[in-house]
Structure 1
Amino acid sequence: MKKTRFIPYGYTMRNGRTVIEHDEADIIRYIFDEYIKGASLKDLAEELTARRVPYTEKTDVWDKARVARIIDNAKYTGSDVYDPIIDEDIFEEAAAAKAARQRNQIINECEGIALMRDRIRCGVCGAPMVRHICSKRKVKESWTCANDVCGCRVRISDSDLLMKVTLLMNRIIENADLLVPKPKKRFKDSLTVQRLQGEIDDELAHDQPSEKLIVTRIREIASQLYQETNAKDQIAARIAQKRVALMSPQIEFNTAYFTDLVENVVLEAPARVTLITKTDVNISEGEPDYGSQENTQEDGDAD
């Protein structure tokens, strides 16, 4: 611990070399983590002071300026002189959070991005993704998985994301059969159907079986079999097809079309986009277009 700060907080000198001071490094990671989660500079300064965390040998009082110097110090990502304490991605997230707070609003997101913000999903784990901005990058926008275990990040500009979503929606408009989900395969009856059938068999084994009970169980089996197919999705797809027939391909992102057609947008690295439609069909970049008949044929040919 130094009496005054000639080198950044988190480092110390040993044998003429700058090395990490591990207790201080833990505090740095804590500061970045809490700041990204929403803690203010003032909150962090008060918290560290209350915990009597030393800043130097002379003081354990923190203020906003000291916390801000840590948030702004790119040396913590590593250099020729300083070993890394945090990942570059963490530093970028903190910088994005700071920029957003300075403007007191989410950074320059257009109507289309605002509309799809809550519908972006991670292509690795399926969790929601969070938009970030880093002004130092050539591509400033990125999306990070909210699942800490996954941590997938996709860097894609707003303009490219809107363009790709528009192209995929145009593909649907030009081939409405894409909205029709593939029929579900049924290899054997579900446990529910087997149970109901067993009750019918037991009743039929009686000397005077109840016709009313048997008819009721048959209806229940029919209802269950309907639920286990995607008949509802097929009906929804037909309705959606009629809506699509009234649409025309667009040059720019159309918010009304997006609302009608798309349930979620899936992002995968490096910048691959997939639409999940309202009929639960995936429309991905670079995949061939198959109509409903082709899809059905593929199912029949599958092993």
Structure 2
Amino acid sequence: MTKPRYLPYGYRIQNGLITPDTAQAEYVRQIYQLYLAGNSLQEIAKHLQANSIPYSDETGWNKNTVHRIVKNPAYCGKDRYPPIVEYTLFQKAQVLCQRKAPTYTEALKDIRGDIICPDCDSRLEWQTKGHRWRCRHCAAFSVQIAPDILLQSIATTMKRLQDNPDSINDQPLSHNTVSIEAEKQQAEIDEMLSAGEFDAASLIQSVLSRADTQYLCCTAGNADPMTLRIKEALAAAPPCNTFDPKLYHAIADKIILHRTTSIQLKLVNGMVV
């Protein structure tokens, strides 16, 4: 019988009742034991993967899936679920979780300066009291969102781009940016020549730099350089199942956070996805 998607990992429906899945329940107990023994969420996920332990979601095991199990009170008998772990064991895991939990801004240190308002593009600020993001300029605000959920949303968007690189379109303004830079360099060269007296080595360096800029523009073909950079970074990175700060900074410029906490990425080529 197919297990309903709303059931937490470790449970199944049998004769119309929610009951522990024998094999999965044992894995849940292992997760708690490993966590209380000092293993990190990532280490536990790697252990489960290495032992080919299946997970009911297509995303597989990662620190977020393990974290959801460690934090879910269903496993100690809450919300009409039969208990899989003892209540005292669950409580010890919560104490350890709280001790290890970083502050919101620490968890988002790689991106907190990039989160912008969907209405006015102003930077959003984190409000500790309301546990939400707020725009100081237009007063727009988001509903509450946990840092791991926000990071996973970004990771999901980047993974979608990895799976569909052809969906990344060239942005005409990127060509203009390159052309403007080349023209600026040409103006500097013309100014040096019109002055009559100049350092030959400096002039040669300026001419070569101008040629490099023009070459980048010409060799991009139908793809602007920033779009090429995005596609190359996505192809070189491992599958983005969790947030990868290195990949994020290579392809994205800003994060547009909507009131409902859905997100869009503004890529370095200007495209919004």
Q: TM-score range by the shorter chain?
A: 0.3 to 0.5
TM, length-normalised to structure 1: 0.38
Q: Which of the two has higher C-alpha Rg?
A: 1
TM-score norm. by structure 2 comes to 0.41
